[in-house]
Each structure stands twice: as structure tokens, then as C-alpha cells.
Structure 1
Amino acid sequence: MTVSKLIFTPLSYTGWGSLKHLVPETMKYKPGKILIVTDPVLVSLGIVSRVIDPLEQKGISVTIYADIVPEPPLETGEKLVQFTREGHFDMVIGIGGGSALDLAKLAAVLAGHEGNVASYLNLTGTNQITKKGLPKILIPTTSGTGSEVTNIAVLSLESTKDVVTHDYLLADAAIVDAELTVSLPAKVTAATGVDALTHAIEAYVSVNANPATDGLALQAIRLISSAIRTAVLDGSSRQARIDMSYGSYIAGLAFFNAGVAGVHALAYPLGGQFHLAHGDSNAVLLPYVMGYIRESCEKRMVDIFIALGGDIANLSEDEASRKCVQELKQLVRDVGIPNTIAEFGIPEAALPKLTEDGVKQKRLLNRSPLPLGKEDIYAIYNAAYHGRLIEPQANTSAK
């Protein structure tokens, strides 16, 4: 029997209004000086003040660092880590989407290490993380990345992305309060929501999937697929926001332990080369990757179709798995995300370079139930460019 290793964030508070646990949780560490890593938009919206005000009332000195951007480049991480080292903080709190949370993790851990951030990157770094660093609390304001429960910080490079990863990057506490997502714009709700759905789907078909992650992944698919259209159309819907929040959270638990694969591997170059938002990159590629690998995980695709609300009565496994792919493509379209990479302004001439960088993502590709080589990756990008669902041909490297 295969042995599975399961890792979870030490402590999580979830549910509407769970932000009330921030101060008691923070006071356990008796910090005198806290660094808040966040998005400038959240500062302007007043959401960050909901974190800062009760902390300052306890006499804690709080410094806001909001010099971050979506899909943060390596240089942004380098600047933040240096700022944290020079500030001599006692704790880091990250509040925002995946970019803010990833950077908060990076700052908390690498502030206690020597060398630049680049030397700790997965693909090219040579330094090892050896210290836990500062205590950190992570508070997501989107329902998408699952960063609050993972040990990964993603950074954009010149033409692709890379990660810093170690269990020391895990939050000491995560606070997942759906109330903080109500002001999220429809476009961001859609992109981050499909990102979370992709986490769950890829975790379920991953070669590292196990019964524990399967349960989490399928429930995440149920919650997200039933709520995402409402959340996009009516962001004030409390139940839709709660379902999306829980769905994103447990999808994060699923993919952190089972891993993501081909969709994310091909999404990284889109973000790196064209600065396409990570959620949009995953969304536009999702049906094409899943359609391409369908036969390698047909029974699991049927399970996913059922979790999406599909009716398999009188359908064969082949038919149901094909309907699953069509449903994914329709869902992406329904929430307003383009179904082709051409619609994002990406030229066909870019496909070879995208393929070249996609092949490098071995950490992710190794989890795919269907091995994806260079020809396969090019075929998927080409399909996503032209909007045609395809399956492997006899002359591809997958056969």
C-alpha cells in the first residue's frame, strides 16, 4: 500500500467573522513590532485597517508594506526581504490575495537567512532554508490561491515562474474569513475562483492523490462549482462567498498534499512571459489540459463531472468524462473568462517559447497522470490558442 505524507497548517480559523480571532492569536507571540504585508488596494478600501486598528489598540507597533504587485517579480521579493531584515520585526501578518500571502511567507522566513531570494529558488537556487523565521499569520481576501495553507511562495522571472518552498513557509495560523471577500470585483472573483477549482481538480487526478486528499478535492469542487456563478454575478451573496471561501481553503489543503500538475505547469509561462494573472492562466488552460489527459484518468473525470453537478445517467465513462471537459469549458465561459489564449492578446508565434518554458516545470509535470513531453505541451498550447479540444495523437511523446 502506498504511504502518503499529509501536512496541514498548525491552526486555522474559518467561517464568517473569524477575523475576531486575530488579536488573541497574535498576542500569543507577545510581539512589539509587526510587519503587515498587503495589497495597496486593500489599504485604500479600509480592509487593512480592520487588522491594524485592534493591534494598535493593544500597544503594538504596526508597519504596513504595500509595495507589491500581482504576480510579483523576483525583485519585489528581494526588496521586501531586505526591508524585513532591516526592520527587526517580531511577526509578519499577510493579508490579501496569493501574491501578498506568498510574499509575507517569504519575508518571515528569509529575514532570518543570509543571501538573496534568488539563491533559494527551486529551479536554480543552491541555498537551503534552515530556520523557521518569524511567526506569521496569513489572512486571505480572495477565494482562490490557497496560499494560507501551503508552503510555497511563487515569484515571476523573466519568462516563467519559480518558487521558494519549505515547510517553514507554512503559516503559524490562517484566518479564512469570507466576509473579507465581499468587496472582491467580479473579474477577480472569477479568476481566483477558477484557480481554486483547478487546484481541486488537479489534486484529484494527481499521481500523488490519496483518500484524504480525494475527499477534500471533491468537496471543494462541489462547493466552488455550485457557488462561483452566483459569487461573480452577485458578490454580496453571503452564502456564495462562504462556499467559495471554504472551497478555496479545502482545495488548498488538497493540492498542497497531492500537488497540481499540467495546468499549472503551462500556466506559469503565460504569467511569466505575458504577465497574465495566475487565475486567468489556469482558467483558460484548464479544459484543454484536462481534455488532453482525459483518457489517462477517465474514471476520476467522471467523479469530477458528478461533483460539478453533472448527470451521468445512461452515459458511459467515456461519454461522461467528455462531458466533464465540456462543462469545465462552459464554466470558464460563464464566469466571463476567455476560452482561448488568443483572446488575451497572446500571439501564435509565442507558442514555441511557451512550450520551451513549460517543459522546464518538472516539479509540476511529474504529477500528471499522463506524461507530458514537449510535443504534448505544444499541442495543448496550440489547442488553447485555437479553441479546439484535442487528445494525444499516436506520434506524440505521450504515446
Structure 2
Amino acid sequence: MVVSKLVFPTLSYTGWGSIKQLLSSVKSFQAKRILCVTDEILVKIGLVDKVTKPLIEKGYELNIYTDVEPEPPLECGQKLVDYTKAEKFELIIGLGGGSTLDLAKIAAILATHDGAVKDYLNLTGTKSLKNNGLPTILIPTTSGTGSEVTNISVLSLETTKDVITDDRLMADVAIVDPELTVSLPAKVTAATGVDALTHAVEAFLSVQASPTTDGLALQAARLIDHSLRRAVKNGSDREARTNMSMGSYMAGLAFFNAGVAGVHALAYPLGGQFHIPHGESNAVLLPYVMAYIRPSCVKKMAYLYEVLSGDTSKTLAEASHLFVKRMETLVRDVGIPSTLKGFQIPRSALESLTDDAVKQTRLLARSPKPLLRADIFTIYEAAFEGKLPNEL
């Protein structure tokens, strides 16, 4: 048996109403100056006030920082790091979607390091992290990225994306409260939900998967597959929201330890070149990548289909094909465009997208089918035309 390294957050609170654990969590760090990284929309709808009110009532010095962006560029991260250092905060709270949580992690870790954010990027950076960061409490308000339980922060560059990754980016406390996701718009619910499903699926199929990550990934995929349509249709559906939050959380734990692969590698350039939200980038590519790699993981895809559908009557080949079609149908049902054309991406961009995707070696290394340049171009072309690629 292959030896697997498994890393999990120090402490997690999950379930409806778990945000009530925030005050005691803050107390445990004995911090006085606190920075809450969030976004302006959550301030406007009153969610930030609701979450932070117990802290203010107890006299904590709390600064709210909202200068964040979706798919944050390098400059956005640098501005936050500079602010965090200048104000000498002692604790960072991240409240929001994956981009916000990623920025909070970057602020926490680089507050204790010299140099610029770009110096620590995975692909081009020249420095490595050596110190522990400020304590962090991460609170997702979407059910999608799993950022609250990973050691990765993603930043957008000019045409692609890069990451800072190190176990020192792990949250000290993660609070996953589905009640905080009720106000999430249907479109964002759909995109982040398929993102979480992609995490689960790619973790299960990863060459770095283990029995532990398989268990997490399978349960996550089942919860999301059975609940996402309901959550998109009715955001107040408490059971659906709970299942989505728990599914996203478990998918995060699964992919953090097993890794994601081809879908994410090809999705990053879509975000970098065309600023397509990460969840939608994953969603549009998911069926095409799955169809292309299917011959390399027939048995596992067939098992995924059986777990999601309850149908055990099909052959392995039939079930694996049906799994791909199930992913294609789900993306369509939640209203996400099913082709690159649907995002107004021209055919002329396929070469540059391929050039950038090839650079994502960290992700591509986990694919059960090696994806070389020609393979990647074929997948992009299939996604452009809206035809599942020929399976080799």
C-alpha cells in the first residue's frame, strides 16, 4: 500500500448555527487587534454585522477590510499584506467566499515574512515560507472552494493563475455554518457548488487518492449531487444548504490531501485570460475532461456513478459513460454554459489557453491519464464545439 500523508485543520466547527463558536475561538487566541477580511456585499446585507456583533459587544478592537476582488490579482493580495503589516494585527478572520479566504490566508502568513507576495508564488517565486503566520479563523459563506481547510491561496496573474502553498497557511479554526450561505444568489450557488463537486470527483480519481480521501470524496459527491439543484432553486432549503456546506467541507478535505488535476489545470487559464469565475471555469470543463480521461479510470468512474445514482445494474463501461453524462446534465441543469462559446471565448484563444494550461504541472501530475499539450488542446477544442471528445 502506498503511504499517504494526511493533513487536516487544527479545529473545525460545522453545522447550522456553528458561528456561535466564533467568540470562544477568538478568546482562545488572546488577541486584541483583529482584522476581518470580507467583502462589501456581505457588509451591505448585514451578514458581517451579524457575525461580528458578539466580538464588538465584548470590546474587541475589530477592523473590517473589504478591498477584495473575485479571482484576486496579485496587486490585491499585496495591498492587503501591506495593510496588515502596517496595522500590526494579532488575529485574522476571513469571512466570505474562496477568494476572500485565500486573501485572509495570504495576509496572515506574509505578515510575518519579508518580501513581496510575488516572491512566494509556486511557479515563479524565489522565496519559501519559514515562519508561522498570524492566527486565522476562516468562515466560508459559499459552499464551494474548501479554502477554509486547505493550505493553498490562489492569485490571478496576467493570463493565468498561481498559488502560494504551505501547511503554514492552514486555518487555526474553520467554522462552516450553512446558515451563512442562505443569502447566496442562485448563480453563485450553482458555480461554487459545481466547484465543490469537481473537488470531490478529481480527488477521488487522483493518482494520490487514499482510502481516507476516497471516503470523504464519495460522501461529498453524493451530498452535492443530490442537493445542488435544490439549493439553486430554493436558497432557503435548509436541508439542501446543510448538505452543500458539508459536501463542500468534505470535498475540501479530500482534495487538499489527494489533489485536483486536469479540470483545474485547464480552468486556471480561463480565469486568467477571460476572468471567468473559478467555479464556472471548472463547470464548463468538467464533462469534457472526464470524457477524455475516462479510459484511464473506468472502474472508479463506474463506482462514482453507482454511488450517485444507486444503479448497480450496468457494466463498468456503461456506468463510467453514464457518470460523464451525469456531470454534463448537472452543469446544464444549474444554468452554467456548457461550452466555451457560451462564455464568448473565440476559437483563436485555444492555443494560448493550452500554452498556459501546460504550465500547471503541479495539477497535471495528479491526473490518472497523462495530459500532454496535444491532449489539452483536444479537450479545449471539444469544450469549444460542445462535443464530448473522442475517448482514446
What band does the TM-score fall into relative to the shorter chain? over 0.9
Q: 2-side partners of 1:303 and 1:15: how far apart?
A: 28
Q: 2-side partners of 1:191 and 1:308: how far apart?
A: 20
1:133-144 residue pairs with structure 2 within 5 A? 133-144=133-144
The alpha carbon displacement at 1:391 in A equals 3.1
Q: Does residue 1:210 correspond to 2:213, yes or no?
A: no
The alpha carbon displacement at 1:310 in A equals 5.1
Q: 2-side partners of 1:309 and 1:10: how far apart?
A: 34
Question: In the alignment, residue 333 of structure 2 is paired with which amino acid?
Answer: D
Partner of 2:33: 33
Q: Does residue 1:345 correspond to 2:318, yes or no?
A: no
Partner of 2:125: 125
Question: In the alignment, residue 199 of structure 2 is paired with which amino acid?
Answer: H
CA RMSD in angstroms comes to 0.7
Partner of 2:110: 110
SS of the residue 2:47 aligns to: coil
The alpha carbon displacement at 1:386 in A equals 0.5
Report the number of matched residues: 392
1:243-322 residue pairs with structure 2 within 5 A? 243-309=243-309, 311-313=311-313, 315-322=314-321
Decide whether the 8 Å contact of 1:302 with 1:321 is kept in 2.
yes
Q: Deviations over 1:112-149 (max 9, x none)?
A: 10000000000000111011111000000000000000
Decide whether the 8 Å contact of 1:203 with 1:258 is kept in 2.
yes
The alpha carbon displacement at 1:312 in A equals 3.5
SS of the residue 1:242 aligns to: helix
SS of the residue 1:28 aligns to: helix
Q: Does residue 1:336 correspond to 2:365, yes or no?
A: no
The alpha carbon displacement at 1:306 in A equals 1.7
Q: 1-side partners of 2:320 and 2:391: how far apart?
A: 16
Give the TM-score taking structure 2 as reference length.
0.99
Q: Does residue 1:2 correspond to 2:2, yes or no?
A: yes
Give the TM-score taking structure 1 as reference length.
0.97
Q: 2-side partners of 1:237 and 1:142: how far apart?
A: 15
Decide whether the 8 Å contact of 2:120 with 2:128 is kept in 1.
yes
SS of the residue 1:370 aligns to: coil
Q: 1-side partners of 2:143 and 2:352: how far apart?
A: 31
1:168-247 residue pairs with structure 2 within 5 A? 168-247=168-247
Runs of 4+ aligned structure 1 residues displaced above 6 Å come to: none
Partner of 1:85: 85
Decide whether the 8 Å contact of 2:295 with 2:391 is kept in 1.
no
Question: In the alignment, residue 134 of structure 2 is paired with which amino acid?
Answer: L
Partner of 1:397: none
The alpha carbon displacement at 1:361 in A equals 0.1
Decide whether the 8 Å contact of 1:376 with 1:392 is kept in 2.
no
Q: 2-side partners of 1:72 and 1:310: how far apart?
A: 40
SS of the residue 1:383 aligns to: helix
Q: 1-side partners of 2:22 and 2:358: how far apart?
A: 42
Q: 2-side partners of 1:392 and 1:374: how far apart?
A: 16
Partner of 1:396: none
SS of the residue 1:308 aligns to: helix
Q: 2-side partners of 1:12 and 1:204: how far apart?
A: 23
Partner of 1:324: 323
* Residue segments in structure 2 that go unaligned for 5+ positions in a row: none
Q: Deviations over 1:210-247 (max 9, x none)?
A: 00000000000110000000000001000000000000
Decide whether the 8 Å contact of 2:291 with 2:391 is kept in 1.
no
Question: In the alignment, residue 298 of structure 2 is paired with which amino acid?
Answer: E
51-60 or 37-46, larger mean C-alpha shift: 51-60
SS of the residue 1:48 aligns to: helix
Q: 1-side partners of 2:72 and 2:390: how far apart?
A: 34
Q: 1-side partners of 2:230 and 2:119: how far apart?
A: 43
Q: Deviations over 1:167-205 (max 9, x none)?
A: 000000000000000000000000000000000000000
Decide whether the 8 Å contact of 2:137 with 2:175 is kept in 1.
yes
Q: Does residue 1:368 correspond to 2:364, yes or no?
A: no
* Residue segments in structure 1 that go unaligned for 5+ positions in a row: 394-399
Decide whether the 8 Å contact of 1:293 with 1:391 is kept in 2.
no
Decide whether the 8 Å contact of 1:355 with 1:374 is kept in 2.
yes
Q: 1-side partners of 2:6 and 2:308: how far apart?
A: 26
Q: Does residue 1:359 correspond to 2:351, yes or no?
A: no
Question: In the alignment, residue 156 of structure 2 is paired with which amino acid?
Answer: S
Question: In the alignment, residue 232 of structure 1 is paired with which amino acid?
Answer: V
The alpha carbon displacement at 1:349 in A equals 0.6
The alpha carbon displacement at 1:166 in A equals 0.5
43-52 or 237-246, larger mean C-alpha shift: 43-52
Q: 2-side partners of 1:265 and 1:182: how far apart?
A: 30
SS of the residue 2:37 aligns to: strand
Question: In the alignment, residue 331 of structure 1 is paired with which amino acid?
Answer: L
